[in-house]
A = this chain, B = another copy of it.
C-alpha cells in the first residue's frame, strides 16, 4: 500500500470515530504511524485528506454503478444489485459509511472538497428507472424523486447500521425496499 493510502485509511478511522473537526492532524498521523509532517508531503491540508477520501469512495461507487447500469439485466435486478453492493461495502468498512453520512454536508461548504461526483450517484439510479419506464416495466413516475427515495433509504439504513452493526438487519432492509419498489412501481 502506498503511504498516501496508508494515511487515507488512518484518516477514515479517526474521522469516523471523532468527526472531521475533532480528528486532529496529530491523531491521524499517530494512527497512520507517521509524523505530522508526512501528512503534508502527500496532502496540502487536512481538508485535502477528506477530499481524497471522498474521491476514492466516489470513484469506486460510480464505476460500479455504471457497470451495473450498462449490464444486461432488467431494472429491478439492477437496483437490487446496487443496493446489495452498497450494503456489502458498509459491512466491509463501516467507518466510511459514517464519514459520508456525517461529513458530506459540512464538506460541501468547502470549495476544496468537490462533491460534484457524489451528486452523480442518484442520477445513475434515475437513469435505470427511466429505462424501466421506457421499456414499459415501470409505471409513470418522477424518476428523480424516486431515486432520492432509494438514496435516502440507503442513508437511513447506513445510519441504523452504524448503531446496531447487524448484518441480518441489512438483509431484511434489502428485502423490504425491494418488495416496496417492485410492488409500488409496477404498472
Given contacts A98-B105, A102-B105, A180-B185, contact A148 B141 (CB under 8 A): no
Instruction: Give every chain B residue within 8 A of A21 (Cβ-Cβ).
Output: 21, 106
Indicate if the CB atoms of A176 and B141 lie closer than 8 Å.
yes
Residues of A in contact with B, size category: 35 or more
Q: How far is the CB of A16 from chain B (nearest CB, A)?
A: 10
Q: Is A9 an interface residue (CB 8 A)?
A: no
Instruction: Give every chain B residue within 8 A of A145 (Cβ-Cβ).
Output: 157, 169, 172-173, 176-177
Instruction: Give every chain B residue within 8 A of A169 (Cβ-Cβ).
Output: 145
- Kindly report which residue of chain B lies nearest to residue A101, judged by CB atoms: B105
Instruction: Give every chain B residue within 8 A of A19 (Cβ-Cβ).
Output: 105-106, 109
Q: Is A18 an interface residue (CB 8 A)?
A: yes
Q: 5 A–B contact pairs at CB < 8 A?
A: A105-B159, A145-B172, A149-B156, A152-B155, A155-B155
